[in-house]
């Protein structure tokens, strides 16, 4: 049996290679995890006999690029829109494709392999990376996105209508949580430099130097590390803020050694295991599967009752700060919320309630549930933009 020799890099044509680069960019912008290895394999598929039949190529690309169920569900729409110019279902992002009429479909490119030089002369007027240039159909350019990002810290999350600005805010929220962890840990290490000599550890370290105590080890009072327990409201009234808060909480759990997260609406869900995923997209997918009913009503009192009964003894100790992110709108009885807040207050060191509505002009905490909770809250602060989230760090550093 003889094996056909592989074709050279130029045999597929420069146009097709540029189109593949644009397709990979489109997949990345739509949340696919595509790297250099997958791109190289895709290039090999284009050189293979699968190139002759587009439906075979689609199946091969699907198997190569799809690593999650969400990828599998959107891949066909992305492939058809990019390579065949077909319509895309609403909500599917194809930013790597171009709406210029001069772009050829995959079928036209396959038919043009015999006359590659003519194809190059007629179509390769752009350089690599120009597939993403803004056309008349695109809403805004990248310069506007850059200017938005400069002042993103003061923009209310509910006013982030531009998808690029919203995604930037999500990333900044997660990075903010990570940087807070780094600075809080540094302060904790500095406090551990005590005034007293630790004789036992000094002698043990001197063995490496022949018994000479070159390095003196000191000790002081031990500080138990701060533990965060986060309760995130995912009801319908919080829709404008849930996405950013979720990324912020993901950054907290990814970097704080002692942190737990719960999500509540009409019921309470422990989501620490889902948000412990390092990959943010995969973490949000897992959390969505666990937290059925996101975006509905909210019963804060019942959720806290469930937390106090089944989880509080396990996740709360004397150095625990309970962080509640909610607008305080409760469909249950305010008295029940007040009772559960009092129970929670007796268990933990501090209760911080971050309410995005505080950033609204003229807001007053007059809702029944919020009024019942406030007497038991140590810090009642806004959480409507990135600057307000960053202001939480000095408070946590003092605990």
Which pLDDT does position 374 carry in this prediction? 95
Whether residue 122 has pLDDT greater than 50: no
Which pLDDT does position 3 carry in this prediction? 40
pTM of the model: 0.57
Candidates 337, 312, 343, 345; CA nearest to 229 is 312
Structure token pair of residue 161 = 């209508």
Q: 45 with 64: CB under 8 angstroms? A: yes
Give me the residue spans of the domains in the chain.
9-127, 176-191+224-397, 196-221
The one-character DSSP state at 227 is E
Whether residue 5 has pLDDT greater than 80: no
Model confidence over 183-238: pLDDT tens digits? 665 554 544 566 778 888 888 888 888 888 888 888 766 656 788 999 999 988 89
Model confidence over 307-357: pLDDT tens digits? 999 999 999 988 899 999 999 999 999 999 999 999 999 999 999 999 999
Model confidence over 31-52: pLDDT tens digits? 788 888 888 888 888 888 766 6
> Averaged over 244-259, what is the pLDDT?
83
Q: Domain 176-191+224-397 belongs to what topology?
A: Rossmann fold (3.40.50)
């Amino acid at each position: 049996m003889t094996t056909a020799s592989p074709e050279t890099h130029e045999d597929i044509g420069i146009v097709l290679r540029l189109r593949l680069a644009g397709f990979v960019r489109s997949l990345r912008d739509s949340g696919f995890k595509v790297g250099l290895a997958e791109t190289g394999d895709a290039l090999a598929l284009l050189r293979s006999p699968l190139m002759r039949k587009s439906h075979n190529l689609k199946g091969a690309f699907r198997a190569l690029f799809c690593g999650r169920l969400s990828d599998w569900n959107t891949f066909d729409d992305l492939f058809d829109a990019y390579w065949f110019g077909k319509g895309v279902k609403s909500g599917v992002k194809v930013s790597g494709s171009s709406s210029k009429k001069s772009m050829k479909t995959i079928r036209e490119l396959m038919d043009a392999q015999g006359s590659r030089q003519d194809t190059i002369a007629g179509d390769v007027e752009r350089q690599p990376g120009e597939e993403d240039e803004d056309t008349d159909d695109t809403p805004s350019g990248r310069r506007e996105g850059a200017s938005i990002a400069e002042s993103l810290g003061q923009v209310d999350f509910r006013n982030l209508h531009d998808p690029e600005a919203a995604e930037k805010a999500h990333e900044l929220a997660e990075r903010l949580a990570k940087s807070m962890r780094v600075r809080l840990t540094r302060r904790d290490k500095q406090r551990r430099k005590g005034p007293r000599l630790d004789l036992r550890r000094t002698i043990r370290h001197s063995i490496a130097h022949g018994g000479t105590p070159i390095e003196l080890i000191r000790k002081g009072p031990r500080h138990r590390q701060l533990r965060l327990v986060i309760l995130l409201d995912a009801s319908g009234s919080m829709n404008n803020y849930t996405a950013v808060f979720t990324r912020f909480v993901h950054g907290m759990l990814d970097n704080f050694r002692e942190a737990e997260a719960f999500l509540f609406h009409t019921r309470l869900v422990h989501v620490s295991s889902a948000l412990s995923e390092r990959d943010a997209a995969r973490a949000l997918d897992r959390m969505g599967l666990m937290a059925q009913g996101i975006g509905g009503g909210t019963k804060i009192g019942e959720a806290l009752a469930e937390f106090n009964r089944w989880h509080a003894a396990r996740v709360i100790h004397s150095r625990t700060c309970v962080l509640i992110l909610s607008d305080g709108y409760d469909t249950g009885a305010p008295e029940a919320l007040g009772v559960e807040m009092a129970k929670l207050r007796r268990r933990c060191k501090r209760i911080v309630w971050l309410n995005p509505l505080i950033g609204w002009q003229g807001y007053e905490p007059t809702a029944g549930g919020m009024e019942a909770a406030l007497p038991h809250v140590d810090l009642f602060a806004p959480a409507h933009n990135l600057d307000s989230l960053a202001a939480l760090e000095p408070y946590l550093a003092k605990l």
